């Protein structure tokens, strides 16, 4: 067909859209209204530009858009034509189909087993919607008001003002090397962890170290031994792989290897918190540590040592880590800076046997490439310059003091209704309720009073225990602790 000049009067247009857009719209509407039939040749860009009194590039832009969207076919300069099948017809069809689908005639494919577990809530984490409220006695929070932000800030300023290229591009999935060095040195001296910087994998919090380990070791129907009661999000990551959770009894000395049930004999992985059992707070004694390593050796199993609270020991010297006692390279050591810096930082680590470092690195490379680069660089310097050790020492004194305040306040306001004892380590205490009192109900009541306590039963797997409340004390000052206990007393 012969070309035509479309009727476009830009002077009458009230549109404030760019000129090219007005031309695009006019031509598009002319096509849709049938004013330009299918396969009609359009005027050249030069001709239309002259006709409209606009620059040629404006018309080129409009035509390019129409070409890209399928209204026109051909090539600018060599002839452009109205397309045989118009996109708006296609769009219409799409929309109708969309409505059919929304009505449910053609449901999408099911999710993976992992996706379905999340959808059904089978492995849902309590954290899905939970922004931290900083309400007494929320557990696992640091005394952030006392964090030396001025020092952190000074280091951050240096990196921001003159950012080295090494932290702006894609970094090493195993972590920023100076941070891996700083962590290896710290864990070697403070925790007896026996590792080189090359064995340290920086993760986005301990949770990522746990989750990667779950995925790297576990698959459908594998058995994994966990402490009963257990840190819920660890169990969540294990269950998400389809593994079977096998609970092992915990007492005042932590996980008891002698109590590993028969079903545990084929377990691939054991999860333990030897420094400070979560949530009961026991420290695993040396004999049991060695027995657990021995059990793992006999049963070809791996061990995750979650050393989450090791920095805060108020009595005695910390016991050497399982990792440091392990001669066979069976221990995956997991640490976190959430409990020493602040949780929002999202930095933790795994210390893994040398032959597995690149497996973790590969999982990070596919998973999220690496942790935020600025924070890694700042933390490396914060540790290397001694600020970290100093801050931890200060917090240890403060937290011991706050623990005492909590014990005293409970003694004063809750005597006979909540049994709270001094503990040698950690960031929380467990308050035991009188026999027969439902800890979940108490926690709900407390929540109504603005008090956040986690019921021990919510961590329990098999063994029924007396009801108890997990009381975090580290983020709250004496006044808040006293007031919190008073309100808890009303709830009880």
Q: Which of residues 288-307 bind a copy of itself (CB under 8 A)?
A: 290-291, 293-294, 297-298, 300-302
Work out how close the CB of 433 gets to a copy of itself at its nearest, in angstroms, rounded to a whole number: 25
236 binds a copy of itself (CB under 8 A): yes
Piece of the chain touching a copy of itself by CB under 8 A; list 2-10, 354-362, 392-400, 484-492? 354-362
| Cβ-count burial 224-262 (b if 16+ within 10 Å, e if not) | bbbbbbbbbbbbbbbbbbebbbbbbebeeebbbbeebee
Work out how close the CB of 188 gets to a copy of itself at its nearest, in angstroms, rounded to a whole number: 17
Q: 84: how many CB neighbours lie within 10 A of its CB?
A: 8
DSSP 8-state code for residue 474? T
Q: Which is nearer to a copy of itself, 167 or 384 (CB)?
A: 167
Site string for a copy of itself, 309-348 (x = CB under 8 A): ------xxx-x-----xxxxxx-----------xxxxx--
- Do the strands 302-306 and 267-272 form a parallel or antiparallel pair, or are they unpaired? parallel
Site for a copy of itself in 75-94 (CB under 8 A): 83, 85, 87, 90-91, 93-94
Q: What are phi and psi of 479, to 5 degrees?
A: -65, -45
359 binds a copy of itself (CB under 8 A): yes
Q: Which is nearer to a copy of itself, 132 or 458 (CB)?
A: 132
Token reading at 215: 């995925």
Pick from 247, 348, 302: which is nearest to 239 by CA?
A: 247
47 binds a copy of itself (CB under 8 A): no
Number of H helices, E strands in the chain: 16, 14
Q: Helix 357-367 and helix 205-217: axis angle, to 10°?
A: 110
Q: Which is nearer to a copy of itself, 36 or 176 (CB)?
A: 176
Site for a copy of itself in 376-415 (CB under 8 A): none
For residue 455, count CB atoms less than 10 angstroms from its CB and return exposed for 0-12, middle for 13-18, buried for 19 or more.
buried
In whole angstroms, give the CA distance from residue 25 to residue 37: 16
15 binds a copy of itself (CB under 8 A): no
Size, binding site for a copy of itself by CB under 8 A: 131
207 binds a copy of itself (CB under 8 A): yes
Site for a copy of itself in 143-162 (CB under 8 A): 144, 149, 152-153, 156-157, 160-161
- SS3 state at 231: coil
Taking only Cα atoms into account, the Rg of the chain, rounded to an integer number of angstroms, comes to 32
Q: Which is nearer to a copy of itself, 3 or 69 (CB)?
A: 69
Residue from 28, 186, 191, 370 in contact with a copy of itself (CB under 8 A): 370
Contact 361, 198 (CB under 8 A): no
Site string for a copy of itself, 430-469 (x = CB under 8 A): ----------------------------------------
In whole angstroms, give the CA distance from residue 186 to residue 198: 14
192 binds a copy of itself (CB under 8 A): no
167 binds a copy of itself (CB under 8 A): yes
């Amino acid at each position: 067909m012969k070309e035509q000049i479309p009727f476009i009067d830009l002077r009458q247009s009230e549109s404030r859209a760019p000129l090219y857009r007005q031309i695009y719209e006019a031509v598009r509407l002319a096509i849709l209204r049938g004013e330009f039939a299918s396969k009609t040749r359009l005027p050249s860009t030069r001709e239309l530009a002259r006709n409209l009194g606009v620059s040629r590039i404006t018309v080129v832009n409009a035509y390019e858009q129409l070409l890209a969207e399928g209204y026109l076919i051909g090539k600018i300069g060599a002839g452009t034509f109205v397309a045989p099948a118009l996109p708006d017809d296609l769009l219409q069809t799409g929309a109708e189909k969309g409505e059919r689908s929304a009505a449910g005639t053609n449901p999408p494919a099911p999710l993976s087993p992992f996706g379905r577990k999340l959808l059904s809530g089978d492995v849902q984490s309590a954290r899905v919607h939970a922004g931290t409220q900083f309400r007494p006695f929320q557990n696992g929070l640091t005394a952030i008001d006392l964090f030396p932000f001025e020092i952190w800030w000074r280091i951050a300023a240096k990196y921001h003002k003159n950012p080295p290229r090494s932290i702006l591009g894609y970094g090493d999935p195993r972590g920023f090397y100076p941070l891996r060095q700083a962590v290896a040195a710290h864990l070697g001296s403070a925790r007896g962890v026996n590792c080189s910087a090359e064995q340290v994998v920086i993760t986005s919090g301990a949770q990522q170290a746990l989750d990667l380990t779950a995925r790297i070791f576990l698959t459908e129907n594998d058995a994994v031994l966990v402490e009963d009661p257990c840190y819920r999000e660890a169990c969540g990551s294990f269950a998400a792989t389809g593994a079977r959770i096998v609970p092992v009894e915990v007492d005042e000395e932590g996980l008891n290897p002698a109590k590993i049930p028969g079903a545990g004999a084929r377990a691939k992985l054991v999860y333990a918190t030897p420094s400070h059992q979560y949530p009961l707070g026991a420290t695993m004694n040396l004999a049991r540590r060695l027995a657990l390593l021995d059990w793992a050796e006999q049963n070809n199993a791996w061990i995750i040592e979650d050393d989450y609270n090791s920095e805060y020991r108020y009595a005695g010297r910390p016991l050497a880590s399982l990792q440091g006692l392990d001669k066979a390279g069976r221990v995956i050591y997991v640490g976190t800076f959430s409990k020493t810096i602040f949780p929002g930082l999202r930095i933790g680590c795994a210390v893994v046997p040398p032959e597995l470092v690149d497996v973790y690195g590969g999982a990070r490379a596919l998973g999220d490439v690496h942790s935020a680069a600025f924070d890694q660089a700042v933390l490396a310097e914060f540790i290397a310059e001694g600020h970290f050790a100093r801050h931890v020492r200060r917090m240890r004194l403060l937290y011991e003091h706050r623990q005492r305040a909590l014990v005293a306040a409970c003694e004063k306001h809750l005597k006979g209704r909540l049994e709270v004892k001094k503990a040698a380590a950690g960031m929380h205490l467990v308050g035991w309720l009188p026999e027969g009192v439902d800890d979940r109900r108490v926690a709900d009541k407390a929540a109504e009073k603005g008090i956040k306590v986690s019921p021990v039963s919510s961590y329990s797997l098999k063994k029924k225990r007396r009801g108890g409340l997990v009381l975090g004390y580290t983020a709250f000052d004496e006044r808040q602790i006293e007031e919190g206990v008073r309100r808890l007393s009303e709830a009880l």
